[in-house]
Structure 1
Amino acid sequence: MRFTTNAYPREQRQDAWRFSLRRVSLELVEVAEDVYGELVSFTSGQGIHFCRITGTAQRLAIDFAQEAPCFWIVLLLEGKLTARQGAVTMDLAEGDMVYGGGNSRTEIDLPADHRLLLVKVPHALPALRSRSALPSQISNLIADEAIGRMLSALLRSVADTIVDVSDDQIRPVELALPEFIAATLLDKAPVKELGGAAGARAAILERVFQSIEMRLSDPNLSIHQIATEHRISPRYLQKLFESAGESFSQFVKVRRLERCRLDLGSPLHAQRSISEILFQWGFNDSASFSRAFREQYGMSPREYRKVGALPDENALNPRRGRPSVRRENARDTGGENPGEERDDGPALSLEAGDAVEDVQVDEGPGVRHHMLPVRPDTIHWGYFSRNLKPALNVRSGDYVTIETLTHHANDDAERMIEGDAAAEAIYRWTAEGKVVDRRGAGPLDASVVGRGPGEGFGVHICTGPIHIAGAEPGDVVQVRILDIDPRPSRNPRYLGRAFGSNVSAYWGFHYSDLLTEPKQREVVTIYEVEKGHGQAVAHAVYNYRWTPQKDPSGVIHPMYDYPGVPVDPETIEKNFNVLRDIEIPVRPHFGVVALAPAHADLVDSVPPANFGGNIDNWRLGPGASVFLPVSVPGGLLSLGDPHASQGDSELCGTAIECSMTAVIQVILHPAKASQPYIRELDYPMIETATEWVILGFSNPDYLRDLGSKAQSEVYKRSSIDSAMRDCFRKARRFLMTMRNLSEDEAISLLSVGVDFGISQVANGNWGVHAVIRKALFSN
C-alpha cells in the first residue's frame, strides 16, 4: 500500500491521513491542520508487516489489542521520538528502536519532521510461538549498543528498499528477524518478568533453543546431548519443554520441518533436490519426512515446492501486485509468447477442500504452467465467437497465469493506463484509428447507431480464448480460481497502487428512480483497492458526473455508451469528498468466464446465458470453481470483466471494475466419465469449499429460444420472475441428481435450507442464484 496526502485537496488531507493510518492499525492522536504524510507498507509471505512513515509533527498511538498477538518494533530513521506507555517514557534518537507486545497501547510523539519504520511480527510464527512470551511493557534498543546496531542495519535496509522489495528478496529478513527477536526478548525483558524460578527456567529454555538451532542438521541430536551440554538432567529438560506445551522431540521435528519448508520455497535452493534438503536438516529418510511434512503443513513437500505457499498463506497474507514475482519477471522480460509452456508449477496455493475429489491433477504427470499476458493479440473486446483463433492451448489439469484488463480503465487513464505498456497498447486510439477496432458484436461500419466499430454491443475486454485439448460438446469444463490480484498502476505517481472504477450508468436498475436533480445523470466513482494489510479493502478516491465526451474519431458520447472512450479531465469536476470513512471489503472475482457458444454469429458479451459469460457473481473468487458446459470443440475459454468487489444485484450497472491477474487451473470432465451431477450440467455452476451456487437467468438459452433477433430481444425480456423460475428448476434438478432426492424432498429443502439471491439486474439477462450449503448434508 502507498499513500501520500499530496493526492488530496488541502482541506481533506488530515482526514485522509487519519484514514490511511487506521489501515495499518495506527491512531492519529494529534496533528497540525496542515499535515503532510506519506505511508508505504508491505506484508511478506510470512505475515511480517513493514510500514515506512514519513510526515510532519504529530502524535500516533500503537494499539494492536484487537489483532492476533504480535511483537512490534519502531525504528526511528530521522527526527526525534518519545514513546509513552503508562508511566514508562522513552526518548529515541535517530537509529534507536522501541519495541513491545501487541496488547498495550503506546503513544508515539513526533515533535518535528520525521521518518520511521514500524514492523509487526506475528507471535504465531514457529520461531516465536514456543520460545518467548510477549513483553508486557515497552523497551528500547539504543543504536550505540552492538545488538541495536545489527538490528538497526537490517531494518534500515528494508526501509530503504520497501517500494521495490519482492517476496523472494525479503525471505532472508523473514528468516532472521523472528530468531533475532526471540533472543532479544529474554535478553532485554524487564527484570520482574524474569524473576524467580520462572525466570530461571525461561533463561535455560532460551539457551536450549539456541543450542538446538545450531545442531538441527545433526541427525543424532538427542535430549541427552542437549541436557549434558547445559548440565541438567534429561528428565528436567523434558519437564521444561512440557511447561512450554510440547516435547523435546516434537520441537526438534517442527524446527527441522520449518527449515526445510523455507529452503523448499527459496529460489536460492531451487536447484537442490528435496532429498538433499531433508538430509541437510537432520531427517534420515524421505518417507518419514514426507509424512511429517504433510501432517504439519497439509501438503506434500513436492506440492509445496511446486506451489510456493501453504494452503492458507495467500488468504491470510495476500501478496502485493501480481500473484508472484516469477510471473511478473517473466512478463517484464518480454521473452514469453502466448501459449509458451512453463515448468515451474503453479505459483500459488490450492485451497484445501477444493471440490471434485476424483480428479487428482496435482500429482499427475505432464501438468504444465502457462503464462497468458494481456496484449492486443491475446484479447477480444466485447464479443464471443466459436471462430476465434485460440490464444493458448492447454491440457486438462494445466495451470494458467492469466492477465485481464478492465474495459473501464479510461475512466481514469492516469491511474489505470499511463505507464502500463499493455494497457496503453490495447487502449490506443487516435484520429487515425484504434489498435483494437472492434468493440462489440455490432457492425464494423457503425451503421446502426454510429458509435463506433462493434457499436458497443458487448463491452468486456476478454483474454483468450483458451483451447482445451479433448473438449467436445457434452463435456464440462471446470475452471478453478486459485488466486486473483489487482493489477498495480505503472504510473510513477501511483506506482504499486491499484485502482478501479464504478459507473452508475444509464443501464443501471436505479436510473429511472432517482430522487435528486439532475435526474438523468451518470456518475463515475474511482476507488483505490488495497490488498497489503489485513482485510483487503477499497475506498473511494473521488467521483464525477459523466459529461459529453468527444472521442478521437470525432464522435460525441453524451452518455456512457461505448467502451474505452477517453475521459478528458478538463471536462469533468472531481469531487473528493465522497464516501469518507467507508471501507468496502475486497472480493476479487471475474464477472466474465465463458466458453464459446455454438452460434454462427458474433455474440454480445453482456447478456450471460447457459454457456456462462457475464455471470457477475462475486462468489467466483479465489478458492472457487465454475463448471461450464462445452458447446464447441476445444471449449474456447475466455475470462474478463475483473471485479475488485460487487454486491448481489450489481444495482447501478457495474462493480468496482479493476484489472486483475489470476492463476487458474483448467480441468476437463468428459461426458461419460464424470460424476452424475457434473455430467448432466448444461448451465454454469459455481462451487466453493462450503457451497454450490446454481445460476439461473431470465432467458437461459436466449440464442436458441428468441429467434433471429435474439441479441436485441433478450434485453427486452428480463425479469426477476423468469430468472427465479429458471434457477428453481436448475436447483431442483441438481438436488435430485446429486443427492437422489425425490421432487418433493428437493422442493422442501429448497424452501427451508437454500438461499436464493439476485446475482445481477444489469446485464440484459437478469440473474438469480441458489446457494446450497454443503453443511446441509451429513456426508
Structure 2
Amino acid sequence: MSLRPFTSESYSEDDRPEAWRDVLSSIGLQPTAATTTHHGHATAVRRTFEGIALAKLSAGAQAISPLSDLASDHPLVLLPLEDGVGLKTVAGHQIVAVGHLLLLPRKGDWSVAFQRDMRAVVLSVTSDPLHSRRASAPAIADVQIVGPGGFGDVFARMMEQAARNLETLSDAEWLAIAQSLADLLPTFTRQLAEPTADLNSGTATKAATLHRLCQTIERRLDDADLTPAKVAQAEGISERYLQKLFEGTGSSFTHYLRERRLQRTWADLSNPSEAHHSISEIAFRAGFNDSAHFSRTFRHRFGLSPREFRQNEAERLTASAMAAGQRGWPQEALAQLRSQHGPSTAGKIAKPEPAETITHGIADASKNQRHHHLAADASRVHWGYFSRSLPPQIEINSGDTITIETLTQHASDDPERMIKGDIGAESVFRWTRDQKNVDRRGAGPMDASIYGRGAGEGFGVHICTGPVAIRDAQPGDVLEIRILDIVPRASRNPDFDGQVFGSSVAAWWGYHYKEFLAEQNAREAVTIYEILDHDDVPYARALYSYRWEPQTDPFGTVHNTYDYPGIPITPASVRRRHDVLDGIRIPLRPHFGVIAVAPREADLVDSVPPAYFGGNLDNWRLGKGSTVYLPVSVPGALLSVGDPHAAQGDGELGGTAIECSMTGTFEVILHKKGNLAGQAFADLTYPLIETESDWVLMGFSHPNYLAEFGAKGQSEVYATSSLDLAMKDAFRKMRRFLMNIKGLTEDEAIALMSVAVDFGVTQVVDGNWGVHAILSKRVFDHTSKS
C-alpha cells in the first residue's frame, strides 16, 4: 500500500524531465512523441495496492499518450480537474470539459493535451486485487467520454475525493477505496459498452460521425432554435441518419441536447468564476429561452432549483475555504477576477512621475552605478497584492542602488503616532466618508460582494512600494537583492517628533487564536510599541495595548474583527491599557517581511501566502547586510518591497511582528540564465537568503501553490498548509542544494543535515506555512567543494 509523493523541488532542472517521465510511466502514461518532457514545477501523489494505482497530478502544459509496454484488460481512467484539455484520436480532436471522465484504452492512437496546466486524477488497474470480485468486462477499444450524471458522476466524485485525501487516508481506508474502485470499474466499462454495441458493430465511420455531431451540438448549445435538421445540414447527412445514430446509443437527439444544456448550466452555476452572471444569463447562454421552463427542468433533473443549487454550492465552497480559520479567499471571490482583470484604476494606482522626479541620479563612476529613490505615497504603492500587470514605477539597471520607502499597513492602529503629519503616510491612508485614496486593498473583488469588507476584500494586506523593473530581466534569470541599509521612519507629528513607533496584533488569523484558556474569551489585542536606540542597544518597549472593538470605517462598514487593512482607529473607540510588558525590552531585528518579484501564474495574487517568488517571507534574517536571491518569472522582474518589521520571533505566532514603517537601501544585481552555472543560486526555484555566516533556504507547505492548485490556489493553500509539508519542502531543497551546489552524495547530504543544518519554523500565520533551513558557511571552509 505504497504512498509516493513527488515534487519537482527535489530535483535539479536537468533531472526533472526524467523524474517526471518516471511518474507518468508508473500509471501507464508517457509524454507524447511530439512534445518534450515537462521541465517546470510539478507535483504528484500516488498510492498503490496490488495493481491498483490512484494518482493526483499537477504540472504545466503538456501532452500524454499510453505507455505501450504496460498491458491490462482495464482502461486507464482520467478525470481532468481544469478546463483546457484536448483529446486527439483517429476520429479527430475534441475538447473535454471539467467533470467528464475519459476511459482510455491501454493501447491505441490517442493523446490527451493539457493546453494550460495539467491537473488531473488518474486511476490505473493492471490486475484484479486480492479478494476482489472478478467481473468480466468488455475491452474498451476506443476512447470513451463520460459526462456528469448517473453512475459516471458517482465514479468521478469517488476518484476525486479519494485523490484529495490520499495522503491522510489510513492503510485500511485506502485498501477499502482501492478495492471499491477496482470492483466498480468493470461494471462501469460494461455499462458503457452495452448501449453502444449496435453503433460500433459497423465501421468506425459511424462513431466518427456521431463524434462530429456531438461537437457541433457543443459549439451551438446557445442556439435556442437548434434542431436535428440544422445539425444534419451542417454535417452533410440526412436528418433520418442523424436520429438513427443517436438511437444507436440508446438515446435521442432531443434527450442528448437537453442533457448537455443542463450539464452546462450545472457546471456554470457551480463555477465561482461565473458568479457575476445571473441565472437567466447562464440559462440563455446554454440555449434555454424560457427561465421558468429552465427552472422546472433543472429541478426535475437535479432535485433543486437553480437558485438553491447555486446558493448551496457557494456555501459549501466558502465553508471549505475558510475551514482553517485563517485569511484567504472563499472560492466565490474568484468570480469577478475575469471581469475585473488586472489592478483597478479605482485603487488610485496613478501613473508614475517621470523618472527624474523620483530618481536622485547619483552616479558612481567606478561602477557606472546610479542611485534612485522611490518615495511612498498613494501613487507608488499597491496594497495587498502582486501583479504581473502592474506598470513599473521606475526602471533601473543591474548594479544600481535604490532607496525604497515602505509603510506598515498597521500604521492606522495608532494614527496619531504613525500617520499624522507624514505626507506620504497620509496620502496612502487617507480615507474619509467621500474618498479612499487607495481603494483596492487585497486581490479580491472590487465591489466587496463576498463579505462586504471593502474593495479587494482584504485578501492580501501588505502595503508594497513599487514595482521596480530591472532592465533586461527575463524569466529564468535570478535577481540578487542586497540590503545595504534599513532606517526606521520617525513620526512627523510634532507631539512625537523624531520618535519611532510600531504595532503588533494578536489576531484571529494567529496560531494561538483557538487555544485561549477560556474559549469564550477569544479576542484580538493590539499592542503599540516605541522603538528606542538608547545606549547603542536598540530595543522596543510596549507603550499600551487595547482589545479590538467593532470598528465602523469611514464608508459605514462595521468590522467586528481585524478583517480589513487600514481601518482608522480613533482613541475614543478603544480602552487603552498602559501596564503591559512592563520593564521588558525586546531586541530589535529590523527587516522587510515582503520582498517579492511578480509571479507568472495569475494576474492578481494575494500578498499573504509566500512562495517561490518571495513575497511575505517574514524571516527576520532579511535585515541589513543580508541578500535574497529570487527567480525571475516575468519580464522586468517587477520587484516590490513592503511589510517592514522592527522585531519578530521565528513562528510569528500571534499573527504579526512589530510592524513599523522603514526605509531600505538596496543594491540590485541581475544574473542572466546563461551565467548561473557554478553559483550557489544556480537552478533556483525558491527564495534563497545569504547572510555573512549562513545560507538560509526557504521551504513552504506548497512551494508553488499557484501552479499546484491552479485557479483555486489562493483558497486551497490556506486550507491545506501544515508544518509537516513545509518541513519536507525545506529538507528536499537543502538536499538538492548540498548535492547539486556542494557536490555531496545523497547519503552525505542527509548525514550533514542531521548534524549541522538548523531547521526552524519561519511562520505559521501566512496561509502557506514556512520552515527555513540554515547551513553555516563554516562547514565548507576547509573543503575543496564549491
TM-score by length of 1: 0.54
Q: CA deviation at 1:577?
A: 0.2
How do residues 230-309 of structure 1 correspond to structure 2 at under 5 angstroms? none
Work out whether 1:342 is the aligned partner of 2:360. yes
Q: CA deviation at 1:387?
A: 0.4
Q: CA deviation at 1:433?
A: 2.5
Q: CA deviation at 1:532?
A: 5.2
Query: Structure 1's 517 and 528: CA in aligned 2 closer, same or farther, altered over 3 A?
Result: farther
Partner residue, 2:456? 454
AA matched with 2:746 = E
Work out whether 1:710 is the aligned partner of 2:713. yes
User: Which SS does the other structure have where 1:433 is aligned?
Assistant: coil
Partner residue, 2:200? none
> Following the alignment from structure 1 to structure 2, what is the Cα–Cα distance between the partners of residues 711 and 509?
19
Partner residue, 2:507? 505
Query: Structure 1's 339 and 728: CA in aligned 2 closer, same or farther, altered over 3 A?
Result: farther
Partner residue, 1:752? 755
Among residues 731, 738, 741, which one is paired with 1:738 in the alignment? 741
User: Which SS does the other structure have where 1:689 is aligned?
Assistant: coil
> Following the alignment from structure 1 to structure 2, what is the Cα–Cα distance between the partners of residues 778 and 550?
59
Q: CA deviation at 1:341?
A: 3.5
Residue by residue over 1:120-151, the C-alpha shift from the partner in whole angstroms, topping out at 9 and shown as x without a partner, is xxxxxxxxxxxxxxxxxxxxxxxxxxxxxxxx
Gaps spanning 5+ residues in structure 1: where? 1-333, 346-361
Among residues 583, 589, 592, which one is paired with 1:590 in the alignment? 592
User: Which SS does the other structure have where 2:680 is aligned?
Assistant: helix
How do residues 457-536 of structure 1 correspond to structure 2 at under 5 angstroms? 457-516=459-518, 519-531=521-533, 533-536=535-538
Partner residue, 1:673? 675
8 Å contact kept, 2:358–2:375 = no
Partner residue, 2:267? none
Q: CA deviation at 1:677?
A: 2.9
AA matched with 1:722 = L
Partner residue, 1:397? 399
> Following the alignment from structure 1 to structure 2, what is the Cα–Cα distance between the partners of residues 364 and 699?
43
User: Which SS does the other structure have where 1:368 is aligned?
Assistant: strand
Q: CA deviation at 1:518?
A: 5.2
AA matched with 1:642 = P
Residue by residue over 1:534-584, the C-alpha shift from the partner in whole angstroms, topping out at 9 and shown as x without a partner, is 111000000000000000000000000000001121121111000011101
Q: CA deviation at 1:343?
A: 4.4
Query: Structure 1's 746 and 632: CA in aligned 2 closer, same or farther, altered over 3 A?
Result: same
8 Å contact kept, 1:388–1:465 = yes
Q: CA deviation at 1:425?
A: 1.0
8 Å contact kept, 1:385–1:599 = no
Partner residue, 1:638? 640
Residue by residue over 1:712-747, the C-alpha shift from the partner in whole angstroms, topping out at 9 and shown as x without a partner, is 111001100000000100111111122111111111
Partner residue, 2:578? 576
User: Which SS does the other structure have where 1:679 is aligned?
Assistant: coil
How do residues 128-527 of structure 1 correspond to structure 2 at under 5 angstroms? 340-344=358-362, 364-516=366-518, 519-527=521-529
Q: CA deviation at 1:707?
A: 2.3
Among residues 673, 694, 697, which one is paired with 2:697 in the alignment? 694
Q: CA deviation at 1:365?
A: 3.4
Q: CA deviation at 1:391?
A: 0.7
AA matched with 2:423 = A
Partner residue, 2:767? 764
Residue by residue over 1:347-405, the C-alpha shift from the partner in whole angstroms, topping out at 9 and shown as x without a partner, is xxxxxxxxxxxxxxx88532000010001111000000000000111111100011000
Partner residue, 2:649? 647
Partner residue, 1:34? none
> Following the alignment from structure 1 to structure 2, what is the Cα–Cα distance between the partners of residues 535 and 608?
32
Partner residue, 1:607? 609
User: Which SS does the other structure have where 2:589 is aligned?
Assistant: coil
Range with greater deviation from structure 2 (742-751 or 524-533): 524-533
8 Å contact kept, 1:339–1:393 = no
> Following the alignment from structure 1 to structure 2, what is the Cα–Cα distance between the partners of residues 744 and 766?
28
Query: Structure 1's 338 and 497: CA in aligned 2 closer, same or farther, altered over 3 A?
Result: farther
Query: Structure 1's 731 and 420: CA in aligned 2 closer, same or farther, altered over 3 A?
Result: same
8 Å contact kept, 1:338–1:373 = no
User: Which SS does the other structure have where 1:704 is aligned?
Assistant: helix
Query: Structure 1's 525 and 462: CA in aligned 2 closer, same or farther, altered over 3 A?
Result: same
User: Which SS does the other structure have where 2:428 is aligned?
Assistant: helix
8 Å contact kept, 2:681–2:688 = no
Query: Structure 1's 416 and 754: CA in aligned 2 closer, same or farther, altered over 3 A?
Result: same
Residue by residue over 1:511-531, the C-alpha shift from the partner in whole angstroms, topping out at 9 and shown as x without a partner, is 000114752100000000113
8 Å contact kept, 2:389–2:603 = no
AA matched with 1:595 = V
TM-score by length of 2: 0.54
Q: CA deviation at 1:671?
A: 1.0
AA matched with 1:628 = L
> Following the alignment from structure 2 to structure 1, what is the Cα–Cα distance between the partners of residues 355 and 760?
41
> Following the alignment from structure 2 to structure 1, what is the Cα–Cα distance between the partners of residues 639 and 374?
12
User: Which SS does the other structure have where 2:765 is aligned?
Assistant: coil
Range with greater deviation from structure 2 (363-372 or 443-452): 363-372
Q: CA deviation at 1:411?
A: 0.2
8 Å contact kept, 1:669–1:679 = no
Q: CA deviation at 1:339?
A: 6.7
Partner residue, 1:289? none
Query: Structure 1's 363 and 692: CA in aligned 2 closer, same or farther, altered over 3 A?
Result: farther
AA matched with 1:550 = T
> Following the alignment from structure 1 to structure 2, what is the Cα–Cα distance between the partners of residues 728 and 582?
36
AA matched with 2:490 = P
8 Å contact kept, 1:628–1:683 = yes
> Following the alignment from structure 1 to structure 2, what is the Cα–Cα distance between the partners of residues 403 and 676?
31
Aligned residues, how many?
430
> Following the alignment from structure 1 to structure 2, what is the Cα–Cα distance between the partners of residues 676 and 484?
27
User: Which SS does the other structure have where 2:674 is aligned?
Assistant: coil
Residue by residue over 1:399-458, the C-alpha shift from the partner in whole angstroms, topping out at 9 and shown as x without a partner, is 001100000000000000001011111101111130100000000000111100000000
> Following the alignment from structure 2 to structure 1, what is the Cα–Cα distance between the partners of residues 584 and 667?
35
> Following the alignment from structure 2 to structure 1, what is the Cα–Cα distance between the partners of residues 537 and 431?
38
Work out whether 1:778 is the aligned partner of 2:781. yes
> Following the alignment from structure 2 to structure 1, what is the Cα–Cα distance between the partners of residues 521 and 354?
50
Partner residue, 1:558? 560
8 Å contact kept, 1:672–1:679 = no
> Following the alignment from structure 1 to structure 2, what is the Cα–Cα distance between the partners of residues 363 and 686?
29
Gaps spanning 5+ residues in structure 2: where? 1-351
Query: Structure 1's 711 and 339: CA in aligned 2 closer, same or farther, altered over 3 A?
Result: farther
Residue by residue over 1:81-102, the C-alpha shift from the partner in whole angstroms, topping out at 9 and shown as x without a partner, is xxxxxxxxxxxxxxxxxxxxxx
User: Which SS does the other structure have where 2:535 is aligned?
Assistant: coil
Q: CA RMSD in A?
A: 1.6
8 Å contact kept, 1:588–1:643 = yes
How do residues 651-666 of structure 1 correspond to structure 2 at under 5 angstroms? 651-666=653-668
> Following the alignment from structure 2 to structure 1, what is the Cα–Cα distance between the partners of residues 416 and 672?
46
8 Å contact kept, 1:629–1:681 = yes
User: Which SS does the other structure have where 2:730 is aligned?
Assistant: helix
Among residues 519, 540, 557, which one is paired with 1:538 in the alignment? 540
